[in-house]
Amino acid sequence: MVSAVEVRNISMAFGTNQVLSGVDLTIDKGQTTALLGANGAGKSTLIKILSGVYSSFTGEILIDGKAVTIDSPTTAKLAGIETVHQRIDEGIIPGLTVAENLLFDKIVSGEIPRAVSLKTIVSEAEKIAGALDLNWNRSKLRNDVYELGIAEQQMLILARTLSRSPKLLILDEPTSALSIAESQNLFRFIKNLEEQGIAVLYVSHKLSELEQIAKKLVVMRDGKIRNEQSAPFSWDLALKEMLGQQELGERSNFKQVQGSGVILKLNNVQLFKESEPLNLEIKKKEVTGVIGLLGAGKTELAKVIYGADELISGSMDLEGQSYKPGHPSDAVRKDIYLVPEDRAAESMIPNWSISHIATLPFMGDFSARGIIKKIKEGIRGKELVQDLKVVTTSHEAIVDSLSGGNQQKVVVGRWLQSNPKLMILDEPFRGVDIGARRDISKRVRDLAATDVAVLVLASDVDEILDVADRVIVLVEGKVVMDVNAGETSKEKIVNKMSEVA
């Protein structure tokens, strides 16, 4: 194989935070290289270096064996590296026709004169579309670009990118908005590119896709390349490298228990439009841990139970009775609580005090005839600070001033204080220091001991094994494993996670 792009000894740091250290990577011509890594592994940084977004790195980039300088998006494009990002709407120019969008670069560069008939543009665009087997006829090319579906918009961006004949095409989670059929279409398109000798670097968390399309797999963790394989891949090995191989000896000591009494039953619930229906029973007195990679359906599961997302199909029973939450407030009224995944976007209210954040979901309990009971609220805030050992000057402190771990304690603690029946925690340990993680884990364990059902969702196996009595593995919206934590091991879990559909 001939290399299209070589990356040699690339390192980069943000301040004291070393995000890439000594990365060597060879991307071959005419085939797809898959890049796999958890959040924070350094994938995005590497991509941004290759596409010229970051320039303060050390190391070398070689294209066709020659060293090149890439220090801006323009130089990256000139060197033949094109990147298609996850958010396709950033690349579409609304109000223009499909043809004009397709030829946008040429229109901007002046290659196509400013005053030109749409007819000329359409016939020019037809050539490009034809060359790429897009099957777009003239009337389609004349349409406003917004009449295209998401998949077609993505094709359009790809086509536009390809009209610059790149040497390397980077695709960042290209199928996140696509249906299965549309994804297959995209893969055919990529095969077509490979035949033209274009190198593709493909980033995705969907292992089945990588299996289907990639010839080479590169796994990153903590800013380093940990594993390189050629097809056929050992997913087991790849995931172990991706998730880290800490010894299980670090596991915190707790007595595992088995739950009793089903609180919530999910009957044929679909997490995605095209995923298989899922059946699940969540029991009292135990911590149920749900593990899955990004896009496996963890957040969807949490939000469906909490009434924050609509149920696609299926039904739920709460303690034997039909449960149809239409809004999170319905869930809260039934003592089903959720700590959402993204703390800043989904839990925090800027400039609010700890006490105010604590009482927001339960304003009714902290007011009489609408008037807030300040004293009761203050007591609740103080208790929260004490209970969860929140490091702060006072319960009146502004939450923005707390560290990430302490903010997390506040948004977890506010629910724990109010007698949950089912407590759902989505990635409760993300961006949380080890001390806070232990405190939160302990509280969650204590909670389960008091007749409560707890559901913890995370992508990190160790985090789950640290807290769960029962382990459920989700892959692409489907339960592939459901066992007692004591009867499994990290090995087996990783093995299941790497199961390719």
Partner 1 sequence: MSIGKTSATNGFDLRDFIVKYGFILVTVILFVWFASTEPTFRMQNTLFSMLKFTSVVAITGLGVTLTMVVGGLDLSVGAIAGLSVTLSAMTMVIYAQTGAIALLVVLLGGVLVGLFNAFLIVVLKIPDLLATLATMFTIMGLKLVPVDGQSVSSGLILRDGSVAPGKFTPGFLLIDRAYIGPVPLPVAIFFILAFVVWIFLTKTRWGRVMYAIGSNPEAARLAGVRVKRYRALAYALSGVFASIGGLILSSRIGQGDISAGNSLLLDAVAVSLVGTSVLGMARPNAWGTTLGAVLIGIVITGLTIKGFPYYAQDVVKGLVLLTALIFSFTLSRRKSRFVPAV
What phi and psi, each to the nearest 5 degrees, are found at residue 305? -65, -35
Cβ pair 284, 263 in contact under 8 A:
yes
| Site track for partner 1 across 366-385, x = CB under 8 A | xx--xxx-------------
| Binding track, positions 389-428, relative to partner 1; x by CB under 8 A | --xxxx--xx--xxx--x----------------------
Does 118 bind partner 1 (CB under 8 A)? Our answer is no
Give me the residue label for tokens 């298609």: 84
Shortest CB 438 distance to partner 1, Å: 17
In this chain, which of 352, 376, 484, 500 binds partner 1, going by CB under 8 A? 352
Q: Which stretch binds partner 1 (CB under 8 A): 68-76, 235-243, 329-337, 459-467?
A: 329-337
C-alpha span between 220 and 334 (Å, rounded):
43
CB of 369 to partner 1, least distance (A): 9
Of 253 and 351, nearer to partner 1 (C-beta) is 351
* Smallest separation (angstroms) from partner 1 to the CB of 334: 11
Q: Between residues 272 and 362, which has the closer beta carbon with respect to partner 1?
A: 362
Distance CA 421, CA 207 (A): 35
The residues facing 454 across adjacent strands are 287, 423
Measured CA to CA, the distance from residue 304 to residue 136 in angstroms comes to 38
Smallest separation, CB 382 to partner 1 (Å): 15
Asked if 354 touches partner 1 (CB under 8 A), the answer is no
* Contact flags string 270-309 toward partner 1, x per CB under 8 A: ------------------------------------x-x-
Q: Which of 15, 156, 158, 10 is nearest to 94 (CA)?
A: 156
| 260/394 with CB nearer partner 1 | 394
Instruction: Find out whether 410 and 399 touch, Cβ atoms under 8 Å.
Output: yes
Cβ nearer to partner 1, comparing 9 with 401: 401
Give the list of residues 6+ apart from residue 315 with CB closer than 8 angstroms, or none.
Answer: 267, 268, 269, 322, 324
For partner 1, the binding residue among 2, 131, 360, 501 (CB under 8 A) is 360
Least separation in angstroms between residue 381's CB and partner 1 is 14
Q: Show the tokens assigned to 212.
A: 């289907």
Beta bridge partners of 291: 458, 473
Helix (H) / strand (E) containing 200: strand 199-203
Residue 65 binds partner 1 (CB under 8 A) = no
**Per rule CB under 8 A, is residue 258 in the interface with partner 1?**
no
CB of 418 to partner 1, least distance (A): 11
| Among the listed residues 336, 361, 358, the one whose alpha carbon sits nearest the alpha carbon of residue 453 | 336
Using the rule CB under 8 A, give the single segment among 111-119, 180-188, 332-340, 479-487 that binds partner 1: 332-340
Which residue number, 112 or 348, has a Cβ lying nearer to partner 1? Answer: 348
Contact by Cβ (8 Å): 51, 42: no
CB of 44 to partner 1, least distance (A): 24
Given candidates 145, 332, 436, 457, which one binds partner 1 under the rule CB under 8 A?
332
Burial 457-491 (b: 16+ CB within 10 A, else e): bbbbbbbbbbbbbbbbbbbbbbbebeeebeebebe
Peptide bond into 361 cis (omega under 30): no
Q: Which residues bind partner 1 (CB under 8 A)?
A: 306, 308, 327-329, 331-333, 338, 340, 345-352, 356, 360-361, 363-364, 366-367, 370-372, 391-394, 397-398, 401-403, 406
